[in-house]
């Protein structure tokens, strides 16, 4: 059974629009070991991905994407010109691993973090847990269904 993940991106850096335009993208630049481990060890092609916009006016989930490749080394770690260059990583023993992500569907509206925090179905989720700064995190199937359901109706405030 396919799993459900959530990835964060700053829309100024790479928005869901950009993902739709590109058709797919390598989820490069993740430099957190826990997030890397999820991509390297647990993500599989076909898993669902909640696409979340962070550091913006109304942070929240904007679309659903899918894992579109097996894990492979993040090429930016070897690129001296990249901000993600890691001098301690070598092609023989790459430190950072990523997957490709492809868009599935944009949500009818943004489901904001504020709404998610107010919804009992997200109690105990990593996303709403205070202090979680992971940019790649596991979610539940129920969270995916809840987000899609919430996106169908007007925000309850």
Give yes or no for residue 152 binding DNA (CB under 7 A). no
Residue 95 binds DNA (CB under 7 A): no
| Contact range with DNA by CB under 7 A, out of 40-48, 52-60, 68-76, 139-147 | 52-60
Give the sign of the dihedral formed by CA 131, CA 87, CA 72, CA 93. negative
Is 70 or 118 the residue whose CB approaches DNA more closely? 118
Please pick, from the candidates 1, 131, 153, 157, the single residue that binds DNA as defined by CB under 7 A.
131
User: Quick check: 45 and 36 in contact, CB under 8 A?
Assistant: no
Q: Does 132 bind DNA (CB under 7 A)?
A: yes
69 vs 89 by CB, closer to DNA: 89
Question: Under the criterion CB under 7 A, does residue 124 sit at the interface with DNA?
Answer: no
Distance CA 118, CA 114 (A): 6
In this structure, are residues 112 and 59 in contact, taking their beta carbons and an 8 Å threshold? yes
- Smallest gap, in angstroms, from Cβ of residue 86 to DNA? 8
Taking the C-alpha atoms of residue 96 and residue 75, their distance in angstroms, rounded to an integer, is 9
Does residue number 101 form part of the binding site for DNA (CB under 7 A)? Answer: no
HEC assignment per residue over 80-106: CCCCCCCCCCECCECCCEECEEEEEEE
CB 51 within 8 A of CB 16: yes
Of residues 55 and 152, the one with the C-beta less far from DNA? 55
Would you tell me which residues interact with DNA (CB under 7 A)?
8, 31-34, 54-56, 59, 113-114, 117, 130-135
């Amino acid at each position: 059974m396919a799993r459900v993940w959530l990835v964060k991106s700053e829309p100024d850096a790479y928005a869901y629009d950009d993902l739709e335009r590109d058709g797919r993208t390598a989820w490069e630049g993740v430099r957190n070991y826990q997030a890397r481990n999820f991509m390297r060890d647990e993500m599989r092609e076909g898993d669902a991905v909640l696409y979340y916009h962070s550091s913006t006016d109304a942070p929240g989930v904007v679309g659903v994407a899918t894992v579109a490749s097996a894990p492979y080394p993040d090429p930016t770690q070897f690129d001296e010109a990249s901000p993600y260059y890691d001098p301690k990583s070598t092609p023989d023993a790459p430190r950072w691993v990523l997957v490709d992500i492809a868009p599935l569907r944009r949500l009818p509206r943004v489901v904001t973090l504020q709404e998610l925090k107010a919804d009992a179905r997200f109690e105990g989720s990593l996303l709403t847990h205070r202090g979680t700064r992971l940019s790649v995190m596991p979610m539940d199937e129920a969270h995916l269904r809840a987000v899609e359901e919430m996106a169908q109706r007007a925000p309850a405030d």
